Structure 1
Amino acid sequence: MLSSIHLFISLGMLFGLVLGSFGNSVVYRLPRKLLLEWRQGAQEELGLPVDDDAPMLRAKRSHCPACGVRIAWYDNLPVVSWLLLRGKCRACHRLISPRYLALELAGAATGAGSVAWLGFTAQAALVGVAALLLLWAAVIDIEHQLLPDALVHPLAALGLVAATQSWFISPTLAIYGALAGYGLLGVTGAAFKAWRGVDGIGGGDAWLLLAIGTFVGPFGVVQTLATACPLALFAALAANRQKLDGQVRLAFGQWLALGGVIIFALQRSGRLPIPYAAFG
């Protein structure tokens, strides 16, 4: 017979699975919608014919990215449908990216892990949703080098909500963390642009570190950067198999997200003592 904690973990896994499935729609539609809106805005400014909205972006129901056929509910069950169809569209038999399966499994793991760690609590729900927002933002950044405000701003709001209850850090620390996060990358980006005349750090990265700062505080922001930078550099060197020439474009958001998760977990486990007392 299942104990109550196992039941709660199962419920968390189920909730995460549903959110993971929803995340697939977010990751596919949101960046394409933003890019289309930016292109339409530029065309309007230049007096050019404005592109019509893509039909698949207007559709409310899920559809195959390859053939556009609407996906029936029984082919849209998280994890199960992908496995039964062997990762192919029923209509056109084209392969469906394993990313869909990965995001659904990640959602289930996040939901179960949050409940196992923090119990069946509001804190667990908030951490689970925040982790998925980070994941979706990271995937979009990898694929499009874009960090949508629609994901990053709610993440910061969740951090501030948690701080008002002092669940992880105090409100003062959350505000300092947000300022430190945006300030560090914002100032660095401005200095780089003044030096080289081009953008070296995306504005989305600064907003993402601001959001992370609301969870980990100012010291955690520095530690997140100290974790993310070597990871990003190693990944860039491994991908290019040569010295970087300054022209390589790097999606830094994924490494900030990973660094933020690592630092947050270490803080919560007590393995990363930080002198927060001076900040209240």
Structure 2
Amino acid sequence: MTEAEWLVCNEPTAMLGSLRCPVSERKLHLFACGCCRAVWECIPLGLHRKLVDVAEQCADGRLGHGILELVEKRARAQSALPNEAIHGAFAALAVTNVIGWWAASRTLLAAREAVCKWAVTVASTGELPPTSAVATAAVRAWGTEWARRNAEPAWSWNNIWPEAAQAAGDAAHAAAEQMFANVLRCLFCNSFRPTSFEPAWLTPTVLALTAQMYDSRDFGAMPILADALQEAGCDNDDVLSHCRDTSTPHARGCWVVDAVLSKE
């Protein structure tokens, strides 16, 4: 994969396969957790969400894998889940794989399946608000296809529904692919233009702000971090633009945050 392709690619599976070795096991596990965070509404409450929390801490060495195995065992033993929660549960369970590549790839697939099915349900029933870009894309596609088919006299409700569902599913899949690709780009920097952080950039303000975002998982202050880095002398466009890009999600393992905190 070329640099130009990496920057615009919306195929996270292909992007995973293109990562240049060696790849940090921590990063791969945090990407798996980031996929779950991106579809948090699809992850069942309770033990499955706890599983993602624990997996993040294990990736950082804050907890041992024995704790993760215990929570996983309890999650697997949980009473039957409703059908709409199954794929979200699979995504949470996939993060526990000890091999980073497997955790990343399997969680990606399960999370994508979960959010796409959820988004089509949102579009078809209207029972849940479109709280994500994936659901919003599905709702719009459903409405557009429904209106188009409904304008044709020969079409009945039974014929319109599957066509609208297909359109919503296709739109959800495309939006999900873009979302997960953005998560991947957040964690893995552009390897064609590696960035070195100057010690002078790491002021007390920069370090404190970054540590607070990392611990809280609230990355809303990334644009403020960009200002602080710039004031410290950082003039790297890749770093500053990544911090100021509010259109894409940030997650634990973000390459800028990791560089500031000296995490690999």
State the TM-score, normalizing by the size of structure 2.
0.29
Q: Which structure would you say has the larger RCO, counting Cα contacts within 8 Å and 6 or more residues apart?
A: 2
State the TM-score, normalizing by the size of structure 1.
0.28
